Structure 1
């Protein structure tokens, strides 16, 4: 097993920060000045995961010289993926990359980033097309030999290559060595910057939340108009199609259903619709205060009945709601489930596939919640 690994707990903390604030991040960065930077965040997170979790399995002590040389390249390339991810994340979050001129690890004539790029090039990234022998500008081109293990020679480093110049007057090759411990130290220093990114994500989310709280949501005495306002605010404050989108859209459908029912059912659904106003108020307060809760709302049972009375009809109800919400659901398959609900008294006998879907949804939800204590 390779001992030059990175702290997995830091990566997990970063991934958790992404998960905890994904609504904000998607809403903000999926179209940021015309660019989908959310895709970049996901790519960086995924490749950090591949790199950090894969590092322990890079075998640096393989018995075959050529395989060992390729595995050294794999280690360097894996570190480079980590570095690129960190740099890209700095760009996404408009953070200044603090190690741009740092030279504290390799202590050479060029910054550490430039010197690591030279190591990467010499040890396999493009060893037959080198523009420098030490990371500094050069008029000559160089070509690297195969890489060799030199740790057993007591030399300064673990692996080295010989660099041959394209200048025929330069006869002696240049030995270029690198140390696993040094490139690991260099990578850890940059990988540790994930901590500041976690703080930055939380800071930006807090700023966004406070800005939205200060923005007063419009109000209307017309319940459908109010719900349309909330639908728009949900897209801005959480994100389009997520958050409370389903609840708000369902409420709009319920309040705009044709209500082509006999008098008795009209009275029943009117009572149910009146009870929904408290849910509209709850949605307004949740969006205004930016207190979105994935575990549901106090009055969420008005749209999602939890009454044990219907446990034995769970599958039938599931299929009817799929028929109502899934345009690709085969309509003829719902007939059996409607008959089941009618036979159990959940729906009246005149209900069929010919019933308007919005009316069916309204009547069904009214019946499912009719025994809830909050219905008055």
Structure 2
């Protein structure tokens, strides 16, 4: 069993789910009023648990009792993977059906010939451990016997299915480990089909939004208001949202100090390429790190000197609570800049934020 499947596939699938600017999360966290992303996460977790269990499962024991429970553990792990694959199929491929419906590829000499692979696996699961004392088979109530090894066929384990009806013949159900593993591999490999489907969905999503032109405004602040709405529509990326919100604070700030007006105007002008880059990236749905990121414009060595004060200051800016030490941070800013920017609690928060950016850009 150790070499039958590998967790590489589910690890790659998890990476895909978390890639493309969290496309899956953004689309499926509220799909028709249902949080299907939670379902996806549950499937990923239980497939991972089951695959890693199977990778590390010991060889079947010679003791029949231990072997029986090992086989039941194998069947349960396969069932977890199979059910998770069905759910992922419903989320990404088709919510109205299940994969492999009607297929009869995995089990030879099946006791119930009318059952497809999905149904027959459920029969094996029920009889070999899930609920062997409460079965409904062949139109009668039945109960599975103690598992035993057959000496007349190639099966790995067998059970008799006793009937509740008097004079009803027992049935013999065999299980073959290789057939179970074939059933497992076919379903685990279906992750490749689902992966292709997700890639296709993302490509279509990108194209549809790329075809919707973002309105262009000559005024930077008006353009930023538009970009804020467009960013929410286009994957709602936290990084882009924060950059846009920071830029809005900067361009909303009105500088009245004559000595700072030109400095502020020059700084705002230096941000225009960043606004254009954000717009261009959102337009083509290329949500990548920004080359003109505002962090690049921190040219002062004050960032290190005021590391503690700045971290607390930004927590105040982005948070929703007052900081009793805010006046101290302003005193430190004024001290190291010799009062050039005149930090004061009387200023609006966006003006204070702009002053901090000007201080660090010198």
Give the whole-Å Cα distance in 1 for the aligned partners of 2:204 and 2:162.
55
Q: Report the CA distance between 1:119 and its aligned residue.
A: 0.4
Q: Report the CA distance between 1:183 and its aligned residue.
A: 0.4
The answer to whether the Cα contact below 8 Å between 2:317 and 2:349 also exists between their aligned partners in 1 is yes
> Which stretch has the larger CA shift, 196-205 or 89-98?
89-98
Is 1:263 the counterpart of 2:283? The answer is: no
Give the whole-Å Cα distance in 1 for the aligned partners of 2:5 and 2:338.
59
Change (3 A) 1:31 1:280: same
Instruction: After superposition, give the CA deviation of every residue in 1:189-226 in whole Å (9 maximum; x if it has no partner).
Output: 11111111111111111111112111111122333222
SS in 1 for 2:250: helix
> Which stretch has the larger CA shift, 246-255 or 5-14?
5-14
Instruction: After superposition, give the CA deviation of every residue in 1:226-256 in whole Å (9 maximum; x if it has no partner).
Output: 21211111111122x6241101111112222
Structure 2 unaligned blocks of 5 or more: none
Q: What residue is the counterpart of 1:310 in the other structure?
A: 303
Is 1:73 the counterpart of 2:72? The answer is: yes
Instruction: After superposition, give the CA deviation of every residue in 1:308-366 in whole Å (9 maximum; x if it has no partner).
Output: 553333232222111211224x5023444333332221864742444432111011112
Change (3 A) 1:326 1:363: same
Q: What residue is the counterpart of 2:207 in the other structure?
A: 210
Q: What residue is the counterpart of 1:185 in the other structure?
A: 182
Change (3 A) 1:312 1:64: farther
Structure 1 unaligned blocks of 5 or more: 133-137, 371-376
Q: What residue is the counterpart of 2:30 in the other structure?
A: 31
Change (3 A) 1:154 1:60: farther
Change (3 A) 1:304 1:245: farther
Q: What residue is the counterpart of 1:123 in the other structure?
A: 128
Q: Report the CA distance between 1:257 and its aligned residue.
A: 2.5
Q: What residue is the counterpart of 1:105 in the other structure?
A: 106
Change (3 A) 1:75 1:22: farther
TM-score (norm 1): 0.86
Which one of the candidate residues 340, 343, 349 is aligned to 1:357? 349
Give the whole-Å Cα distance in 1 for the aligned partners of 2:223 and 2:294.
21
The answer to whether the Cα contact below 8 Å between 1:4 and 1:184 also exists between their aligned partners in 2 is no
SS in 2 for 1:161: strand
Q: Report the CA distance between 1:304 and its aligned residue.
A: 6.0
Give the whole-Å Cα distance in 1 for the aligned partners of 2:191 and 2:202.
17
Give the whole-Å Cα distance in 1 for the aligned partners of 2:73 and 2:185.
17
Change (3 A) 1:254 1:332: same
Is 1:254 the counterpart of 2:250? The answer is: yes
Give the whole-Å Cα distance in 2 for the aligned partners of 1:11 and 1:306.
44
Equivalences for 1:207-356 in 2 at 5 Å? 207-239=204-236, 242-259=238-255, 261-293=256-288, 296-301=289-294, 305=298, 307-308=300-301, 310-328=303-321, 331-345=323-337, 348=340, 350-356=342-348
Q: Cα RMSD over matched residues?
A: 2.4
The answer to whether the Cα contact below 8 Å between 1:100 and 1:113 also exists between their aligned partners in 2 is yes
Give the whole-Å Cα distance in 1 for the aligned partners of 2:35 and 2:21.
14
Aligned pairs, number: 356
SS in 2 for 1:331: coil
The answer to whether the Cα contact below 8 Å between 2:29 and 2:37 also exists between their aligned partners in 1 is yes
